Structure 1
């Protein structure tokens, strides 16, 4: 995006990709999370927004909000290591009992928290040195969580560059779920049946996301072409799964070991998906040929989730998604202070700043997926009834 160019993209509140020119509509979720009638808002000229972002960045930097918080992250790592130790002790003390499934669920939560740290390392939030961040991030991702750091970096970088942009953001690419009516409409048979109910099936489906993350990682590391740190990650992931599965099947009967693994993967997948989904799902989408400046592209497509320290810890800082996208290397402890500055900045510019509670964020995701899913028609549906059902 070139500073000073004219804004030509549009976004709209019903979250469909729209023509590259026109006026956007304000999302139904406003800054305070209350419903208000949708109104059209003209995108500001990019040159004025680019200039204002430079001022915002200077203010944030002046407040010291981009300074690393190594003590915080070292404390979190220490607490997680203590949690792993306590979980291992509980595993050994319980022995052959179905109460082990509680331990499995706890382990799934702990691994997700380690994944948050790996995500923050990938954004250079922990250490000043890029190399150190990468080494720590790769160890946490591959050696502890069991997913490829290289795969994550590639996918996540493309998402940050073009959030909710059709054909560019891998997080809205067509797959099991359809995020646009254009993707849902051609589906037939069981796929159409599933898509029409995808909002309600979203969270149950997340129970498979943990397995999917591992599978995608192995696929990336096994494919031809250059993959940075391929052999390091293969060794780390192989050692991790070898030790993990070896311990499970050594200490537990086969059936219980399989159940333990299933519960851990399910909790991990649901927790990961539930932490990332509210960030952009159900927010405006940008057409492939749309042209928005960096500031509006990041703010208009992101949703913050309100809450105190518990929510911030549970989401790994992802609840401040707008600030995270505007300042990717900002440490987690500074995001709340930055949010107040960014919120005021958006008010001055008249740019929609979306912030809702936890329950409303999930409701927005489910509602959006179901609305998109209605485009997947049953071939035996009456067209007239189908048209009115979608209204």
Structure 2
């Protein structure tokens, strides 16, 4: 159901609204993240047994290279980089600016992001967030065994790592951050990294990568189930079709994707529709959980809930990739890679990760979610307008049960 607007929310923070308008002035309307020529996928296709990261970078903003060098936060909105920052995201989802004390959000990546901590510092300084460093105990980097060294080689996922760390920071600046780097993007090494994240004390674990589900990768489901820890995964960026793992595992909270735009004059101040690229699908390998009741899928259906994922309405991300990646510096980045760490941060803000051994709570606490009722992810496929690919009242595949409206559902 759609949450009823409350009187304090009848306006959008002026700074957030102005910054959002400035960011969206750069958006080519009507374009598709799934097919648009102005979007570059950070990771290419994955070979069998391997996963690909899901970050998508806008190439039409500042020539695809962003603005190099840190931006000082000043009274001038022009000093802020393009893309949504903490103020806009908090305003859109009615989230508090504080909370998350004692929570540790882990992000799992393949390979080393050598400048992750330094780049995170630029992001947090730019947006006025408190430092999160190794020195103050807020930031930690480890390999898949939990060791600080030696770290794996750089496998080209640094933009993904930057997106995940920046997105988590934007919504939960008080949370500690744990970056766990798998030796490679294989199912076994990523699964081992999730186990390590839990062993190192993570309370929320975000996984912004995907592989098409099969009987081969079903063997790793147990690695994504840790009592007391919320495990979140992106639903994928390929639209409706074969669901991905780890998103389809029953213990995982699956984050779908929306297009988030300012809507001045409305009670909420923002509008959301299903993003065309958001992954959804009906599992052929994972049984229907008892808490899912959608009519036309006999197996596990993805997604469960959603947040902004469209690169056209993407997040400001800072990454200096020393390999010459065109996303170096400030970029606008999206994909369901963004919705997973943001959802992890929302759970961390609420402070009850033990409620999320699976997604069942999000099928009963829908009064704390905003229902997304428009948009589809069925481009190039045919699901007959069914809820599995088309947003509408109540549950649907691309957006699940909706998007956060404050912390009530969490």
Q: Which structure is richer in relative contact order (CA contacts within 8 A, separation 6 or more)?
A: 1
Name whichever structure is richer in strand by fraction: 2
- TM over 0.5, shorter chain: no
TM-score by length of 1: 0.25
Structure number, greater radius of gyration: 1
TM-score scaled by length of structure 2? 0.24
